[in-house]
């Protein structure tokens, strides 16, 4: 069964301290799927996640099993690199 490991990026801490400005941490990019449209967001609004308007929600950095339909949608939207067999 194919799986998706959601995308991440390195986020740096916004601080005036010179030492901590060099520190980064991985942060997830959430994928919101509505029909065949995929939207990225770094800080998803809790109300959107609970509203039921999205068919699929994938939090970045987490692993999700995918159906064939989900694989097709994500691959067509350009997220095939995050799908593992």
Number of domains in the chain: 1
Distance between CA 64 and CA 57 in Å, rounded? 10
Q: What is the pLDDT of residue 5?
A: 95
* Res 14 pLDDT > 80: no
Does residue 18 register a pLDDT over 90? no
pLDDT of residue 13: 76
Closest CA to 40 of 6, 3, 72: 6
Report the sign of the C-alpha dihedral through residues 57, 63, 68, 73, in that order.
Answer: positive
The closest alpha carbon to 29, from 56, 2, 54, 57, belongs to 57
Q: What is the pLDDT of residues 28-81, one digit of tens each?
A: 999 999 999 999 999 888 888 888 899 999 999 999 999 999 999 999 999 999
Q: What is the domain extent for residue 46?
A: 3-84
For the entire predicted model, the pTM comes to 0.85
């Amino acid at each position: 069964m194919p799986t998706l490991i959601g995308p991440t990026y390195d986020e740096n801490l916004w601080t005036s301290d010179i030492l901590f400005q060099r520190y980064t941490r991985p942060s997830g990019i959430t994928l919101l799927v509505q029909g065949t449209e995929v939207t990225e967001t770094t800080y998803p609004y809790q109300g959107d996640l609970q509203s039921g308007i999205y068919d699929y929600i994938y939090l970045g950095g987490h692993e999700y099993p995918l159906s064939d339909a989900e694989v097709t949608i994500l691959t067509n939207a350009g997220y095939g690199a995050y799908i593992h067999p």
